[in-house]
Amino acid sequence: MTGLLAGKAALVSGAASGIGRATAVAFAREGARVMLSDISEAAGRAAVDEIRANGGDAQFTLADVSDEVAVEGLLAATLREFGSLSCAVNSAGMTGAMRPIPELDLADFRRVIDLNLIGVFLCMKHEIRAMQSAGGAIVNISSGAGIVAAPALSAYCASKHAVLGLTKTGAAENARTGVRINAICPGSTDTPMLQESMAVHAQVKKMILASQPGGRLGTAEEIAEAAVWLCSDRASFVNGHSMLVDGGAVAR
């Protein structure tokens, strides 16, 4: 049997931990050759070792996706290694400082926008260029906070809303090129980033757990499964979509 992504070359940013790492592992399991990227080299290479130990094909490139030169280098390394790019998941992101808008420093706001929004824009820009001749699929990781408000997380909320605008615009621009662009809006997902936030802010943990209709957090692997499907040929007519994977949290 072959996997859903057999024969495809994939790129996953933010692949050292959390949703990005789970996505890279799932893509390799489904038969893709995967380029992992992150600013955390040790954790990124450990993820590659995990994939290879399970029979997958993976490489790692150190890159800060908020730096266009680094993104250009990442795409060049991917094309050099695999010869093409079939699918990409733009997962690198951060929560940022938790403060009301009047108390938030501009530098903290810009730091989140640079990674969560500018990083997605730069990756999309160069991924689309790499895919336009043969087609492909891009998935941007937004958030439930890309659809509803996230008090005390204005930069994160703004960046994730903006990612959906980029996704829809890119999808419309490329509808005839064969490049599909969609977004996933994860709900509260059990990742190191969320666990860190909940450990620092007790009220955040209480608020998050109370907002889960099913009484639990999502797993990174559950988000990764949505990315696998969106990048597969089974989602061939899905374009410009913002897919909630949140256990019904936003529906409440």
CATH number at 112 reads 3.40.50.720
Active site includes 156?
yes
Number of domains in the chain: 1
Within a domain: residue 92? Answer: yes
- Least confident interval from 102-106, 139-143, 181-185, 195-199: 195-199
Q: Is residue 98 part of a domain?
A: yes
Tell me the whole-structure pTM to 2 decimals. Answer: 0.94
Beta strand 9-13 pairing with 33-38: parallel
Tell me: the pLDDT tens digits for 1-51? 479 999 999 999 999 999 999 999 999 999 999 999 999 999 999 999 999
Please check whether residue 77 lies inside any domain of the structure: yes
Average pLDDT, the chain: 94
Query: Is 89 contained in some domain?
Result: yes
Residue tagged active-site, from 60, 82, 109, 156: 156
The per-residue pLDDT for 209 is: 77
Rounded mean pLDDT of 94-108? 95
In a domain, 1, yes or no: no
